[in-house]
Amino acid sequence: MKVKGLTESEKITMKCVWNLGDGTRLAHILAEANGRYGKEWKSQTVSTFLGKLVLKGYLEQYRDGRYYCYRILISKKEYRCQELAQEMRFWDDGDVNEFVDELLDPSTFTPTERRALVDAIQNK
């Protein structure tokens, strides 16, 4: 399934939901965004982003008593895989070797991170 692109604020909001898991509420998402990501958002701001994520098909909103909760419809892995593929197709014109060269470039990751990346690929 093709997922719709996200703005930076929507990405942060969605990352908070992925961090917190299914059934999370606005108050928890707000605390996560402000605490972990250094935002100074108000509940109405987060509510707006959540509404957009529902419209884009990332989340489903449901009621649990007097609270609205959010169910994840698109996993973080599904989103990230599609984003990586789109980046490779756009920036590298689909050239996997060029994409890998960029991943392993010393300016992209530390030597330890690059080694871990190579090890992870070899173990797949």
Cβ count within 10 A of residue 50: 23
Beta bridge partners of 25: 69
Q: Give the pLDDT of residue 70.
A: 98
In the chain, CATH 1.10.10.10 covers 8-72
Q: Give the pLDDT of residue 3.
A: 80
Fold exhibited by the domain 8-72: Arc Repressor Mutant, subunit A (1.10.10)
* Per-residue confidence in pLDDT tens, the chain, 124 aa: 678 899 999 999 999 999 999 999 999 999 999 999 999 999 999 999 999 999 999 999 999 999 999 999 999 999 999 999 999 999 999 899 999 999 899 999 999 999 999 999 899 8
Q: Give the pLDDT of residue 2.
A: 74
- Whether the Cβ atoms of residue 25 and residue 69 lie closer than 8 Å to each other: yes
Cβ count within 10 A of residue 14: 24
Return d(Cα 16, Cα 37) in angstroms, integer: 9
